[in-house]
Amino acid sequence: MVPTMGALHDGHVSLMDRARALGDHVVVSIFVNPLQFGDASDLAKYPSDLDGDLDICRRAGVDLVWAPSIDHMYPDGFATRVSVTGVSEPFEGRHRPGHFDGVATVVTKLFAVIRPDGAVFGAKDFQQVAVIKRLSADLGLPVGIDVAPTVRDHDGLALSSRNARLDPASRSRALAIPRSLTAVEKAWRSGVRHTDELETILAAELLGLDVDYASVVDPQTLSTRRDDHAPAVALVAATVGSVRLIDNTVLD
C-alpha cells in the first residue's frame, strides 16, 4: 500500500514502483486528511487533482486506488484519536500541534480498512516515518513499514506536492534548503561530528529564510545525540513565500 494525500508527483511514483517490487498487488489511497491540518487555510490550499492522480496511478500499474470521502473516513460520531508520544513531540509536533495525532489516526484507519502486508512511505517525512514505525511496533500492526529515498528535482529541491505553490523567486530561495543539507553532508564526510558545528553549517545556508528548525539529532529518538560518535540526522523546516517545506538528510 502507498498512502497518499493526492497531488501525486514522481516522488509518489517512486513509492508505487517500490511497492510493486515488494508486493503482488499495489493499493494507493488518496485522502486529504483534515485531522492532520491544524490550520484550515493550509487544508484549503492543499492541491488536489483526482483525474490527474488516477492517470498517474494507471501509468504506474497500480491495481487499486482508494479515494474515500471525508464522511466515509470520519462519519458522524467518529470519536477516536491515535496518539504517539515521544518521537512525535519535537520539531513538527511542536510547530503543528495535533498533526501527528491526525497522521497516526488516519494511518491506523487506512491499515485497518486495506489490511496491506506492507506500506511504503517517503524518507522526506523523516519524523512521520519515525511516528509510524513507533505506532506500528507499539500496536503490533501486521504491516511492514518500508521507507523509500527522497526524490529530488534537477535543482536539488525535494519533490513535494507543496512545491506547486512556489513562485519562481520563492523556488530559487527554497534551494537554500537542499544546499544546507549538502553542506552538512560534506562536513560530515570530512570528519565534522560535533552537533554545534554541524548545526552552524546548516544554519549558515539558511540565512534569510523563515526557519522553524534546523537541527542535528539522534535519528532513533529525535533527541540530543549522546555523543559525537552517535549517528545523526539533520532536519530542516522553513517557510518560503507562504509555503512551508521540510527536508532532511541522514548522516551516517
Q: Residue 140 corresponds to which amino acid?
A: G
125 makes contact with ligand PAF (CB under 6 A): yes
Nearest approach in angstroms of CB 24 to ligand PAF is 22
**Residue in this structure with the C-alpha cell 570530512, named with its chain if needed:** 190
Task: Say whether residue 103 binds ligand PAF (CB under 6 A).
Answer: yes
> Is 168 exposed, middle or buried (CB count within 10 Å of its CB: 0-12, 13-18, 19+)?
exposed
Tell me the one-letter amino acid at 252. D
Report the C-alpha gap between 162 and 75 in whole angstroms.
Answer: 28
Told to check if 3 binds ligand PAF by CB under 6 A, we report yes
Distance of closest approach, residue 119 Cβ to ligand PAF, in angstroms: 9
* Helix boundaries (H) for 23-167: 40-45, 50-59, 70-73, 92-95, 99-114, 126-139
Rounded CA-CA distance 164/49 in Å is 12
Indicate the residue among 103 and 202 with the shorter CB distance to ligand PAF: 103
Instruction: Build a one-symbol-per-residue string for 104-123: x at contacts with ligand PAF by CB under 6 A, - elsewhere.
Output: --xx----------------
Contact pattern from residue 36 through residue 55 relative to ligand PAF, giving x for each residue in contact according to CB under 6 A and a dash for the rest: x-------------------
33 binds ligand PAF per the rule CB under 6 A:
yes
Is 194 catalytic? The answer is: no
Q: Name the residue nearer to ligand PAF (CB basis): 15 or 183.
A: 15
String of DSSP letters for 53-73: HHHHHHHTT-SEEE---HHHH
Binding residues for ligand PAF, per CB under 6 A? 3-5, 33, 36, 103, 106-107, 125, 128
Residues marked active site are found at 12
